Amino acid sequence: MEEKLKQLKEKLAVVADLQAAAALLGWDQQTYMPPGGAEDRGHALGTLARLAHEHFTADEIGSLLGDLEPYAASLDADSDEACLIRVTRHAFDKETKVPAEKVAEFAFVTTVAQGAWEEAREKSDFSIFQPHLEKIVALRREYADYFKPYDHVYDPLLDDFERGMKTADVKAIFEQLRPLQVELLQAISERPQVDDRFLHLAYPEKDQWDFGVDVVTHFGYDWKRGRQDHSVHPFTQTVHLGDVRITTRFDPERPASMLFSTMHEAGHAMYEQGVAPRLARSPLAGGTSLAVHESQSRMWENLVGRSRAFWTFFYPKFQKVFASQVGNVSMEAFYKGINKVEPSFIRVEADEATYNLHVMLRLELEIELMEGRLAVKDLPEAWNARMRDYLGLTPPNDSLGVLQDVHWSGGMIGYFPTYALGNLISVQLWEKINQDIPDLESQIAAGRFDGLLGWLRQNVHSHGAKFGPQELVQRVTGSKIDPMPYVRYLKTKYGDIYGL
């Protein structure tokens, strides 16, 4: 069996190498590729996707898995080998249902759609992107059909990002969470508003960039295995464990946008950089799910980056760099300003009390698109209607509305609920971390993050994709994904800020 396990690992490493090449081309597409390269890049990515799919779904892989599964049953269920066989089987069973030509077609369509989305967003014209999204939705419905019978058409898509989770599971969590967040938002709206005018002044780009770099260097982002660039929409791209790249974006009069985007993406990247090296070039070499990934990015962005303890250390530096903007602003006023609760158009810049409502809106629209109850052409109107219902706002244009997120151009339908789930997981983990590291707040206030990162490395990062999201959360915190710790966190934090 050792020889067959070695053969499986070698074949899986080839797939990982093809995926790494595609990842690098995808990163370049969103950072440096000239606009005219979209169609040819689409063909290249389509070819790589097809080759990776063909290698992964080859009969030899299936035969090796069949031979190795009895062997895996004799191993410790938590061992790398048993987890590798189990996780590979799950992915193999999914991918063998999808024809290789459809994988290539999807890669091509989404690559071309990326450029169309960028143009549409720049011009605030949904009609430019509409035909591309119609193709993507049709392909996603076709993809889901390969997995019939299913409980819900959205299930196969959600499973791509949250292994083992069902649409019904997510709906149940959100139905418990939504009224509690709306209640909190209503209570905050009745209190005097926080003043954050100092966050809407001109802040030089280089100073913003350098400050963000300093912050994530303190966090522990490894620049020998990463880099940062500009992109339309911030993202993290793992080429392989030794090359995990982040991007950010600049707004001259919204310094919080670049700063917290940098923290957020560094959180993703440090997760990938923390995966045990022995799992490299295998299906275990990466985060276990997008929700767990979001728990890491949102933890560093919000639980750390928007905390009093964090700014106890960093605010004197921030005041020195941006003396003309915040030289006369107290640390407490700054802390309240960066935590101001106010319904807004843009998800990635939403405060913690309203962020999940942005996600719930998108989940509902995606489900309706997949069910065929909503046509793509009607998406802008449906988006605006839900924005009014959920947040009391009507986007003035498509760029601030339906075109703001990059995900649909990449075909990532099923991704959005992971953002809210990640918020919930982040606080569940945070409660456990504070139990295990009682002086965590004082460490952060002293600019020391090695204790926090070390805990995450040991309990979350190093495992890679060995355990599913619910299983990992259960192992670490003692319960599956639960919205109540997050609700407690919000009530405590904003009760203090707004005097509730």
The pTM of the full predicted model, rounded to 2 decimals, is: 0.91
The domain spans of the chain are 2-127, 167-498
Provide the CA 464 distance to its chain's centre, in angstroms: 16
* C-alpha to C-alpha distance for 73 and 67, rounded to whole angstroms: 11
Amino acid at 96: T
Amino acid 434: pLDDT: 98
What the block records as the tokens of 247 is 């991007």
The per-residue pLDDT for 201 is 94
What is the DSSP pairing of strand 228-230 with strand 236-240?
unpaired
What is the spatial distance between Cα 65 and Cα 67, in angstroms, rounded to a whole number? 5
SS3 198: helix
Cβ–Cβ < 8 Å for 457, 433: no
Helix/strand/coil for 414: coil
Q: For tokens 């880099």, what's the residue?
A: 227
How far is the C-alpha of 267 from the C-alpha of 264, rounded, in Å? 5
Angle CA 71–91–88, to nearest 5: 30
Mean pLDDT by groups of 10 residues along the chain of 500 residues: 94 97 95 92 93 96 96 95 96 93 93 94 97 97 95 96 92 92 92 95 95 98 98 92 96 89 97 98 95 97 97 98 96 97 90 94 96 97 94 95 95 94 96 98 98 98 96 95 94 95
Tell me, rounded to whole angstroms, the distance of Cα 394 from its chain centroid: 26
Three-class SS state of 217: helix
For position 348, what pLDDT does the model report? 83
For position 456, what pLDDT does the model report?
A: 98
At which residue do the structure tokens 């649909």 appear?
408
Contact (CB, 8 A) for 401 and 395:
yes
Q: How many CB atoms lie within 10 A of CB 383?
A: 21
**Element housing 137 (H / E):** helix 126-145
| Catalytic sites, residue numbers | 265
Dihedral angle of Cα 439, 440, 441, 443, to the nearest 10 degrees: 90
Looking at the structure, give the CATH architecture of the domain made up of residues 167-498: Orthogonal Bundle (1.10)
> How crowded is residue 497: how many other Cβ atoms within 10 Å of its Cβ?
18
Phi and psi of 229, rounded to 5°? -140, 175
- Name the CA radius of gyration of the chain, rounded: 22
d(CA 144, CA 413): 11
- Angle (nearest 5°) at CA 405 between 402 and 406: 125
Alpha carbon distance 21, 79 (integer Å): 29
pLDDT of 226 reads: 98
What pLDDT is attached to residue 494? Answer: 96
In single-letter form, the type of residue at position 128 comes to I
- Provide the 3-class DSSP secondary structure of residue 370: helix
Q: Which amino acid is at 115?
A: G
Tokens 């996600």 sit on residue:
359
Task: Compute the distance between CA of residue 361 and CA of residue 382 in angstroms, rounded to an integer.
Answer: 10
Closest CA to 119 of 403, 411, 413: 403
Edge-first strand listing for the sheet containing 228-230: 228-230, 243-248, 236-240
**Separation of alpha carbons 119 and 35, rounded Å:** 10
d(CA 34, CA 28): 9
CA angle 398, 402, 405 (to 5 degrees): 115
Length of the chain: 500
Longest dimension (CA), the chain: 69
